[in-house]
A and B are shown apart, each in its own frame.
Chain A
Amino acid sequence: MDRPRVLFVDDEPHVLRGLMRSMSSMAGQWDTFFFASGPEALAWIDANGPVDVIVSDMRMPGMDGAQVLETVRRDHPATVRVILSGYAEESAILRTVGPAHLYLAKPCTPAALQQAIARPLALRERMTDPGLRSALTGLSNLPSLPAVYGEIEAELRSPLASARSVAAIIARDLAMTAELLRLTNSAYFSLGTPAATPLQALRAVGLETVQTLVLGIGLFRQFSGRPGDLPMLEALTRFSLDLAGRCEALALASGAPAELAKVAHCTGMLSHIGTLVLIDAHGAAYRTILPRVDVKNPLDRLEQETFGAAHGLIGAYLLGLWGFAPSLVEAVAHAWHPREAPAGGDNPLLGVLHGALALGPAPLLASTVEGTRPALDRAYLARVGLDSHVPAWQALISSPCSKGTR
């Protein structure tokens, strides 16, 4: 495999040279390229083929960063797109929400920049199917439930809308939750720590910004696939909400602090983003594999065989691109097979998600439980020190009153 190619665009020569110097230490791993304007960079890409990552300044004369990234997204969807800007005008930033996977603010340490580039490159290596990778990288948003979409639109237009009322609606939709939380991963909106709940995110971003993003820029997208796929989407949403609740409950039961429990909730909620993507793109195919699921043919293997990747990996890739916390991304990626996770899967989120999945009900519309959820890996849990909590978890999950816990 060729060395990853990373391209930088900045109109300020000093900055460009600074970047070049700071990236010189990575010269052994990546091929780096530096351009003072968008058109120059695009011309080079046209001549020399797509790059793996593009990092662009936002405010540039002529063609600004959003335009550059949008062009790249269109022409080379597989390229990971990052904005690195010291400019903080909100309207400009909002325009990058679609085309950019990540928004980094100047000043940005070389380490942070290198990490932001390295992480998606690492995901890439696991996402071996180039077509799927390209499709996922080129995605600009995810489908929302039509009913919830209508509600959120109405609520955002309502003069009585509040952060709480809007967040309550957003929390009921998988895609919206993911999109909103993703915003807080961007440096501009960040309060230091990424938000774990829609309400936190809304408070960080601001209701007005969300209004602009949703009503003006079209942050959310209504599911417009075949009507036959809609029940599946609804079932997935119910399942994800339920899972999120279980994750939070299990985390609390394992003695995790409330903050971490919130993140666990978020992890549970976002864990099936990959399934959402598959249903959105291949609803009919996805429906055909559900009946085939059994002990010998577990869901993740069938997904892998049919689509080139299982939902966990797909979700993790997407969340990784969007700058979600590595621990969260890892949990999503390895929920079915936690022991395969790097560093032995010593990640409380992974343990909790694995437990919540393995002990919980079957996802989606599958009639059988077997094969639609991972088997509980007691050995793994024992290694990460969660094994002792399993009885409590089982008790919690079998108790009906735990269902609604958030």
Chain B
Amino acid sequence: MTVPVFPVSDPAPSLHRLAGVFDDLACVLFRRELGPDGRLTYPMVSPTLSRLVGHLVLQEGTSDLVHPADRPGLQEAIETSARHLTLCREQFRVVTANGETRWLRGASEPQRLPDGRIAWEGAWIDISAWMRADYEFKTLSEHPEEALFVLDQADQIIWGNTEAQHLFGHSLEGLRGRPFASLFRGGLPDLSACSLPGTERSGEGLAEREDAAPLLFRYSVRDVAVGDHGTRIVAGHDAQRAAPSDDAPPSPFSSDSDWFWETDARDCLTFASEQIGGVLGVKPSALVGHSWFEIGLDDTPEFALILRTCIEARIRFRDLVFSVGPPGGRDRRTLRLSGLPIFTPDGFYCGYRGIGTDITREVMAEHRAQRAHQQLVDAIESFTGAIAVYDPDDRLFICNPAYSQSFDPMGVFVKPGASFEQILHECHHRHVFDLGAVDFETWLADRLRRHHKADGEAFIVKLTDGRWMLSRECAMHGGGVVSIRTDITELKQREQDLDDLRRRYEVILDSAGEGIVGLDAAGRVNFANRMAGTILGRTPDAMTGMVFHDLINPDAPASSPLPTSAFGSGREPPFSTPLREACHSTVTAQVSTEIRRASDGCLIPVDFFVAPVAKDNGRAGNVLVFRDATERLRFERSREEQQRELERQVSVRTAELKGEIIVRRRVEGALRQSRERLKAMTDSLFEGVLVMDSQGQISFANPSARQLLACGEVEGHPLDSVLGIRTLQGDLPFVDSPLRRVLETGVTVRDDDAVFTTPAGAVLDVAYACSPLGEDGARRSAVLSFRDIQSLKRAQRELFQASRLSSVGQLAAGIAHEINTPVQYIGDNLRFIDEALGTVFTAIEEARTLSQALAQAGTNGAALEAAREALSSTIDRSNFSFLGAEVPVAVRESLDGVEQIARIVLSMKDFSHPGTSTKTMTDLNRALESTLTVSRNVWKHAATIVRAFQADLPPVLCHAGEMNQVFLNLIVNAVHAIEASGKPLPGTITVTTSTDGPFVEVRVTDTGTGIPEEIRERLFDPFFTTKEVGKGTGQGLAICRDVVATKHGGTLEAGGEPGQGAVFTVRLPVDGTPTDHEDS
């Protein structure tokens, strides 16, 4: 649903033109449009709305002004209007900037635009005031038990309240528009008799209810002006019911004491109506002939004079009062007379005619009231303070001079009738009050609030003349306020003096170096100076009212206040302290104790001087003067301590010295021990240890070093005089050796396979490590530790031999297979041949028998036949064609087998090359062939061998057996590489021989997966293997390199494309290089 809003989406240009006009309009002009999409817009709204709601209704401001409760109604009105194109009457509330609601009522005329939109133009007016008044009136008028009617000028009923409706039994609709008089039987007198606004008239009439029941309606009428129109309000109630309130004034109709009277020209009564008898207790006739003076008017001289004057002047008189009867007697009556002179038509005076009323009761009531008032006045007058009474309307009723003078010495404005607020204003105007910093409006509001509250609470008002007033206001029964003021200036003054004095003392006490507290009889602090606060770690104000003992010892159980009397109730405090006892004492005492400081919880020593405050022979409290005893104690202590400290320092120093001596002894001992231990350690080391300084001078050598280097005491000698390091480049002196680098760079150098030479010419196989000792370059020294690895080397060589043997052993199984296979078929073939030969020999024998039989031809035909038969059967039985074909093949294959065995055996001899410890000129091609033969069983299922041998390869001087071992290793490795590669079998192993200058190269290439770059060098590490357990020791390549490099001065290198296979290349010098190991 689209909620009406007031956006000024596109203010019409006319708005600008008319702006000046609109601005001052009391109503809001607007244009509203309803689009085809059901959207409501307000293209124009005059600025009055902004003013009305207290904020600018902006163009884009779609602030939702309409009160949510009124939106549906407004929407419906607009929709209805749009549907029927009828005038749209609208009434709704808007909410203003300050939260008020305002009623707008308006009307707008719809108009269908050519484009289908509907536009309204209209105006809203603010009816808030009217609505409010209407509301208030209705609210007020719903006073219980009082029927109210509002009548128009023609006395027709406009409205009647609930009670009126109830009383007459008509609904509001039934009453509305009906002449008021029609409610009554026989009508009513004209109500317009009293026509002055504000005046009131009463009456009573017999009305008839809706249900025809009679109703005696007593009413009063008041005319009120509403705008330009007069309106009449009738209030009333059922007269037969008890009066709604006791306070209601007795109705004038109820009076029955009025009487008429007439006098004659001599001013004597000629007539008095009957009622007078009841008043005066005499028959009216008894009065005839007497003048009013005689009856008692003379007793009231001022009235008698008036009457006499009036009578003489023959003018009308009114309300003359006089009394009859003995003064103070019960029969005394007070009468009130009014009279009119009567003249004959010709102007002849013939007496007065008038009425009289017995106003005894009224007079007496008035008299009593006057007396009461007088008593009040007297009371008030006699009140020493200022007193004033304000009536319920807040007007000053009475006050005594003290009251008026307190504000208004001149008696200008404090007068009965003046309102309280007026008085205050006047006072302020004359600067009576000292408002201090408070502005008058606030002060006034507060003052009025107090006044209306009137709860008797005392408050103090300061006047500009320096006086102080204590004011107390009390509500009176039945409304009104009694205001009592007492001038407390002196009191205030004294208080201030006292305050000044106290402050002066405070300043004095605060400046005191001691803490001073005053305690009351219960031990509560009623005063504490600043120092007390400082010492106790509290603010003095916070201490006031606290039990002092609790303050100084907050950890103690909450103590009850001290007994008020020193002689006590027998109720002992929970614990007793010297301070507490001193407080109970009636003599001054000094106590030193520790208290707990509140601020940091520290216990501090305090000296207390406790003095009792005596009062009426008793103890009214104590004054405690105390000071922080820390300083005193410290001072006292410091003197003792200085002495003690001196003694202590001396003893400590002595002890320290003793300790130092002991420590030094111990350190020296430890040093000695450590040195001895070190010496023992180095002495017992198998390794040689040398320490040298930066210049290469030996500063220490252990026995092992001396023994290994075969030298004596070398300390102080240069290193070169003891050892040199042999490398391929020759023997290096210290200056060129890696040891010097250690001294220069501080980096440890180690070599697990080095050679030391001694000046005596000895050669040592060593592993050494050289580490820097000491920190900075110039003074750095180095430790060289080395061990003889000759035996290790020997073991390595033995290992090589062992591995050679083991590989031969491993080969043996393969070789056995290689030999077993030919043996198998040779045996098979030989047995076959054997059998075949047997058959052949049988056949030959039979043939010979046949031949012999033929030779003896004719002799024995049967024998011949038998021989022929035998041969024929042998030939039939024996598949000679098969034998003829198979036997030669069997023989040939057997011979092949024998050859193969012979070759294998020869290769074995070649391979192991037994019996040579020196290098021999070796045909490497043949060596390789032998190796391939003996290892055939290793490779035959894994690889095809391609031999690329250089035919004219020169013989090489080498250890043939060891080189064969190297080749075998390379071939076995190649086989393993191919088997492990996962490539289809068989792979290819290419063995190449070639010459390269003075070198012969043997290359073994496989088709495995090659060697990753990163492990290429580690391959030759003695303890590196890529082989799984059971595939050899993995020592192979290390040994091979040792053989090739060390024994033959050649090289063994690994290469090849990773993934494509490995290439191992052996380079040997053709002429063989003699090495140092030749002899070993």
Do the beta carbons of B889 and A107 come within 8 Å of each other?
no
B276 to chain A, nearest CB (A): 147
Interface stretch, picked from A9-17, A234-242, A298-306, is A9-17
In the complex, the answer to whether A18 meets B829 with C-beta atoms within 8 Å is yes
Assuming the A-B contacts A17-B893, A59-B941, A61-B986, are A86 and B824 also in contact, with contact meaning beta carbons closer than 8 angstroms in the complex? yes
Q: Mark A37-63, 1 if CB is under 8 A from B, else 0.
A: 000000000000000000000011110
Contact A88 B896, CB 8 Å, known A12-B821, A61-B941, A61-B986: no
Contact of A25 among B835, B893, B986 (CB under 8 A): B835
Whether B816 and A88, one on each chain, are in contact in the complex, defined by CB atoms closer than 8 angstroms, is yes
In the assembled complex, which residues on chain A have CB atoms less than 8 Å from the CB atom of B813? 87-89
Report whether B835 and A14 are in contact in the complex, using a CB–CB cutoff of 8 Å.
no
Q: Which of A17, A62, A88, A109 contacts B817 (CB 8 A)?
A: A88
Counting CB contacts under 8 A, is B828 at the interface? yes
Question: Is the Cβ of B824 less than 8 Å from the Cβ of A15?
Answer: yes
Best-buried of B821, B826, B832, B882 by chain A (most CB within 10 Å): B821
B515 at the interface (CB under 8 A from A): no
- B511 at interface, CB cutoff 8 A: no
Q: Which residues of A contact B890 (CB under 8 A)?
A: 17-18, 21
Q: How far, in whole Å, are A300 and B986 apart by their CA atoms in the complex? A: 56
**Inter-chain contact A107/B832, CB cutoff 8 Å:** no
Task: Choose among A14, A105, A106 the residue that contacts B896 (Cβ–Cβ < 8 A).
Answer: A14
Distance, CA A21 to CA B831, complexed state (A): 9
B825 touches A12 (CB 8 A): yes
Chain A minimum-CB-distance residue to B985:
A61
User: Count the B residues whose beta carbon is within 8 Å of the partner chain — how many?
Assistant: 27
List the A side residues contacting B893 at CB < 8 Å. 14, 17-18
Asked if A22 CB lies within 8 Å of chain B CBs, one says yes
> Is there contact, CB below 8 Å, between A106 and B821?
yes
Nearest CB on B from A111, distance (A): 9
Expressed in whole angstroms, the Cα–Cα distance for A60 and B941 within the complex equals 7
A286 → chain B closest CB, angstroms = 44
B843 at the interface (CB under 8 A from A): no
Tell me if A325 is interfacial: C-beta within 8 Å of chain B.
no
Does the CB pair A14–B825 fall under 8 Å? yes
Task: Decide yes or no: A18 and B824 within 8 Å by CB, A86-B816, A110-B831 being known contacts.
Answer: yes
Q: Does A224 contact B (CB under 8 A)?
A: no
A14-B822, A14-B897, A107-B823 given as contacts; is B817 within 8 A of A22 (CB)? no
Tell me if B820 and A106 are in contact (CB < 8 A): yes
Q: Mark A82-119, 1 if CB is under 8 A from B, else 0.
A: 00011111000000000000000111111000000000
Q: Does B208 contact A (CB under 8 A)?
A: no
Residues of A within 8 A of B827 (CB): 18, 107, 109-110
Contact of A19 among B828, B882, B886 (CB under 8 A): B828
Distance between A96 CB and nearest chain B CB, rounded to angstroms:
15
Most buried by A among B820, B828, B832: B828
Q: How large is the interface on A (under 10, 10 to 19, 20 to 34, 35 or more residues)?
A: 20 to 34
A165 at the interface (CB under 8 A from B): no
B817 touches A108 (CB 8 A): no
Contacts of A22 in B (CB 8 A): 828, 831-832
Please name all residues of chain B whose beta carbon is closer than 8 Å to the beta carbon of A87 when the two chains form the complex.
Answer: 813, 817, 937
Whether A388 sits at the interface, judged by CB under 8 Å, is no
Q: Report Cα–Cα, A85/B897, bound state, in Å.
A: 17
B895-907 CB mask vs A (1 if < 8 Å, else 0) is 0110000000000
The docked-state distance in angstroms from the alpha carbon of A16 to that of B286 is 192
Partner of B828, one of A18, A60, A88: A18
A24 at the interface (CB under 8 A from B): yes
- From the candidates B816, B823, B829, name the one contacting A21 in the complex (CB within 8 A): B829
B363-382 toward A: CB 8 Å interface, digit per residue (1/0)?
A: 00000000000000000000
Which B residues are CB-close (under 8 A) to A109?
A: 827, 831
Residue ID in chain B nearest A87 by CB atoms: B817
Q: Encode A62-86 as 1/0 by CB contact (under 8 A) with B.
A: 1000000000000000000000011
CB distance from B982 to the nearest CB of A (A): 15
Q: Which residues of B contact A18 (CB under 8 A)?
A: 824-829, 832, 890, 893
Residue of A22, A60, A61, A109 ringed by the most chain B CB atoms within 10 A: A22
Interface residues of B in 222-270 (CB under 8 A from A): none
Question: Beyond A14-B825, A106-B823, A110-B828, is A86–B817 a contact (Cβ under 8 Å)?
Answer: yes
Whether A24 and B823, one on each chain, are in contact in the complex, defined by CB atoms closer than 8 angstroms, is no
CA distance A22 to B831 in the complex (A): 7
Residues of A within 8 A of B826 (CB): 18
Known interface pairs A17-B890, A107-B827; 18 further A-B residue pairs with C-beta atoms within 8 A, sorted by A's residue number: A14-B821, A15-B821, A17-B889, A18-B827, A18-B832, A18-B890, A21-B831, A22-B831, A22-B832, A86-B817, A86-B820, A87-B817, A88-B813, A106-B824, A107-B820, A107-B824, A108-B824, A109-B831
A residues neighboring B (CB under 8 Å): 12, 14-15, 17-19, 21-22, 24-25, 59-62, 85-89, 105-110
Q: Which 9 A-B pairs have the closest CB atoms?
A: A18-B825, A18-B828, A86-B820, A21-B832, A22-B828, A106-B824, A106-B820, A107-B823, A107-B824
